[in-house]
Amino acid sequence: MECEIPRVNSNRDEMKRYFEDVKTIAVVGCSPDSSKASNRVAKYLKEVGYKMIPIYPKHDEILGEKVYRSLAEIDEPVDMVVVFRKPAALGAVADAVIARGDVKVYWTQLGLVNNEAANRVKEAGIAVVQNYCAMVEHKAIFS
């Protein structure tokens, strides 16, 4: 897949509102490896007060939290989904976000863009942020 330029996205004011409104954030692709960006971002989100739910195909616990294998397995409301998966996998993640029915924000990390998936999410009434680091943006907005 070629690199895409985000055609569907939110601005900094909208991001601020999302961070203020959400309480629970699922991190898709949350690595147990503390040197990985997904682990550092998840740790940061947890440290600043969000309930962080890691989604990863292995391990039972990451950062002291129960690990789920998929969004569908989570048995509590999820406000935001932060995604650390390759662009080709974003379509399936977008479908899972839409299927949940409770997600307010679909956020793909820096370097991750899939406009087709983002359009489906937006058409389902869910806010979209693509190609931004949740940790960097949160720090920039609230520092």
> Tens-of-pLDDT digits for all 143 residues of the chain?
456 888 889 999 999 999 999 999 999 999 999 999 999 999 999 999 999 999 999 999 999 999 999 999 999 999 999 999 998 999 999 999 999 999 999 999 999 999 999 999 999 999 999 999 999 999 999 98
What pLDDT does 40 receive?
98
| Helices 115-123 and 90-100: angle between axes, nearest 10 degrees | 10
Contact yes or no for 82/106 (Cβ under 8 A) = no
For the chain, first and last CA: distance in Å? 36
Nearest to 83 by CA among 23, 41, 21, 35: 41
Residue type, position 60, single letter: D
Q: For the whole model, what pTM was predicted? A: 0.95
CATH architecture, domain 12-142: 3-Layer(aba) Sandwich (3.40)
